[in-house]
């Protein structure tokens, strides 16, 4: 049997994408198949560089193609092209493919911590990432990222767009950089709306695969503004097990659903104590709060993040735990959650493009 592009595609059809539930040939992931004598080269283009099974897919493809008669060598090149959600309105911002909102039912559960760690984890997997802090009442992203810019001192491009400062491989803008602290507290709905618009339109973001938005707790003003003006690929809801109130989380999820924002899943933060010396796990608040909520509310549990003093100190010192202690259980949890978020966003995009139907 002669070695042709057709035989190669046929054999690659047995590789399934675990999230999209289709084979990688049907999904259109195979590009640039080259055959020169017995040497085969091809590219697999995934929908996110943060794909958790990237390496596995590569070795499966190498093994399958390598086993075809006549093949002497295989070179599989892995790339990614993050797709935008097809359902976004025409007002969506050019260059920004997916906006992901990070919300919570109540304050202090680790929303900002989750936002910065997920963002950096995605960037470390090869994605282009930005974060904004839409929390006018207590902006803290700049501090968590070690960015120190006085309000009103952001650099501008020639056409007067704000240049977002960069830290740890991500671009970050905070409302704290736009307005003096003492003025922020009087902001109300319409002003929030215009601030969100400014973040989206008057900022030189460049090309971004993911823009993560740290939503303010409480009212849905910012979420409403985002949903109406730019479209949101999905929302991540952060909760803690301590005094877990299903009703708080349900409220947050209900708001996103009303706005037609897909729920990507729930993160249970401060889930258990991971000893920084021996990594032993202590379930201080009992276990399974996040899992129960996820089951009750029929949403995915994206992962559990332990309580670790390195998470707090990292945030205080401007070096989030995925940078400061990348091998710690908390950092590994954030990294795994980042991959899941990326996979869920891909699924949403493929669904709106009608390439896949549903879970």
Q: Where along the sequence are the contacts to ligand ATP (CB under 6 A)? A: 104, 107-113, 135, 138, 140, 217, 269-270, 305, 307-308, 311-312, 315, 330
Residue 295 interacts with which of ligand ATP, Mg ion, none, CB < 5 to 8 Å by class: none
Residue 113 binds Mg ion, judged by CB under 5 A: no
Distance separating alpha carbons of residues 81 and 353, to the nearest angstrom? 14
Residue 221 interacts with which of Mg ion, ligand ATP, none, CB < 5 to 8 Å by class: none
Residue 346 binds Mg ion, judged by CB under 5 A: no
Residue 174 binds Mg ion, judged by CB under 5 A: no
Distance separating alpha carbons of residues 267 and 57, to the nearest angstrom? 27
In sequence order, what DSSP letters do the residues of 82-94 get, joined into one string?
Answer: PPPPTT--TTSPT
Q: Which tokens sit at 47? A: 């929908």
Residue 114 binds Mg ion, judged by CB under 5 A: no
Q: How far apart are the first and last CA of the chain?
A: 38
From 98, 112, 269, 352, residue interacting with Mg ion (rule: CB under 5 A): 112
Residue 146 interacts with which of ligand ATP, Mg ion, none, CB < 5 to 8 Å by class: none
The site for Mg ion, by CB under 5 A, has a size of: 2
Name the minimum Å distance from CB 112 to Mg ion.
Answer: 3
Residue 217 interacts with which of ligand ATP, Mg ion, none, CB < 5 to 8 Å by class: ligand ATP
Q: With residue 208 as reference, give the H or E element that holds it.
A: strand 208-214
Q: Which residue is nearest to Mg ion (CB)?
A: 112
Residue with Cβ nearer ligand ATP (50 or 322)? 322
Question: For tokens 């994605």, what's the residue?
Answer: 127
Cross-strand pairs, 166 = 171
Name the minimum Å distance from CB 254 to ligand ATP.
Answer: 19
Buried b / exposed e along 160-180 (16+ C-beta atoms within 10 A): eebebbebbebbbbbbbbbbe
Cross-strand pairs, 263 = 235
Residues near Mg ion (CB under 5 A) are 111-112
């Amino acid at each position: 049997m002669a070695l042709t592009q057709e035989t190669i595609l046929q054999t690659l059809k047995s590789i399934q994408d675990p999230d999209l539930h289709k084979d990688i040939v049907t999904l259109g992931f195979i590009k640039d198949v080259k055959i020169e004598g017995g040497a085969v080269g091809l590219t697999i283009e995934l929908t996110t560089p943060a794909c958790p099974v990237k390496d596995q897919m590569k070795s499966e493809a190498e093994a399958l193609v390598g086993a075809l008669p006549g093949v002497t060598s295989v070179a599989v090149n892995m790339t990614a092209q993050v797709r935008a959600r097809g359902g976004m309105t025409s007002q969506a911002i050019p260059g920004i493919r997916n906006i992901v909102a990070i919300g919570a039912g109540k304050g202090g559960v680790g929303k900002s911590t989750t936002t910065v760690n997920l963002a950096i984890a995605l960037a470390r997997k090869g994605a282009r990432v930005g974060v904004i802090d839409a929390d006018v009442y207590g902006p803290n992203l700049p501090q968590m990222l070690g960015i120190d810019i006085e309000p009103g001192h952001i650099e501008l491009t020639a056409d007067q767009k704000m240049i977002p400062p960069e830290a740890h491989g991500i671009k970050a803008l905070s409302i704290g950089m736009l307005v003096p602290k003492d003025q922020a507290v009087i902001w109300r709905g319409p002003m929030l709306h215009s601030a969100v618009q400014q973040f989206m339109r008057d900022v030189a973001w460049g090309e971004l695969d993911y823009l993560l938005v740290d939503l303010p707790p409480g009212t849905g003003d910012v979420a409403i503004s985002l949903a109406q003006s730019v479209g949101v690929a999905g929302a991540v809801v952060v909760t803690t097990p301590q005094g877990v109130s299903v009703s708080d989380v349900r409220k947050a999820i209900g708001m996103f659903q009303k706005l037609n924002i897909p729920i990507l899943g729930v993160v249970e933060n401060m889930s258990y104590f991971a000893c920084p010396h021996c990594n032993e796990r202590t379930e201080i608040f009992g276990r399974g709060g996040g899992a129960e909520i996820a089951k009750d509310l029929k949403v995915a549990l994206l992962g559990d993040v332990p309580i670790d003093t390195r998470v707090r100190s990292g945030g205080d010192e401007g070096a989030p735990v995925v940078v400061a202690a990348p091998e710690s259980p908390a950092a590994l949890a954030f990294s795994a959650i980042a991959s899941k978020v990326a996979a869920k966003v891909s699924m949403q995009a493929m669904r709106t493009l009608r390439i896949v139907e549903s879970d």
